[in-house]
Amino acid sequence: MIIVNFKAYKQAVGEKAVELSEKCAEASEKTGKEIIVAPQPYDIPKVSGKVYAQHIDPEKPGSNTGSVLAEGIKKAGASGALINHSERRLEKDVIQSIINRCREVGLTSVVCAQSPEECGELSMLNPDYVAFEPPELIGGDISVSSAEPNVINEAVKFSEVPVLTGAGIKTSEDVEKSIELGCKGVLVASGVVKTDDVLEELLELCSGL
């Protein structure tokens, strides 16, 4: 599994989000590997392939102006959501509430954690996946699989649910090492979104799965 987080990059908004998702779908079809895209909320109905939201809120339908509802995300076409990304950190009780909301409406929950210990702690909330991303490596040129392979192994051991990893993942070797260390997949963002040849980069990453 590869999750491509579009974040709020200018290369992945509006029509560019659609084009990027089409490249992801093409790479998935060519390789037989699962590639999930996580665009901005307003782009979810437009993009191709399997889609996760970048964030949802714990509120239920009602007078909650500005909330990103689980029901709305589901109806827009998403089948899962990222929770507690390093750029959108949440309190533990809020994370639990969002996981519960995902379960209520049938969304896959991917909870992000910054350390092996936090992977273990948040896995006890029973999400579908925990995603280990050391914040100091996010968006950088050094991947977590090369900089901190032992820490990935610890994250897998501490977690009670399947683990994904991310931060600096850019090559098939990065992906392959992550899988060898026990991860079920990877999260990527700038390494795909900002590259000159998205399809080539995705095919490279898929070869490591």
Q: Which residue numbers are catalytic?
A: 85, 133
| CA distances from residue 77 to 47, 73, 156 in whole angstroms, order as listed | 9, 7, 30
Q: Which of 170, 185, 194 is nearest to 8 (CA)?
A: 194
CB 95 within 8 A of CB 84: yes
Q: Which of 100, 32, 28 is nearest to 70 (CA)?
A: 100
Phi, psi of 166 (to 5 degrees): -155, -175
Cα-to-chain-centroid distance, residue 39: 10
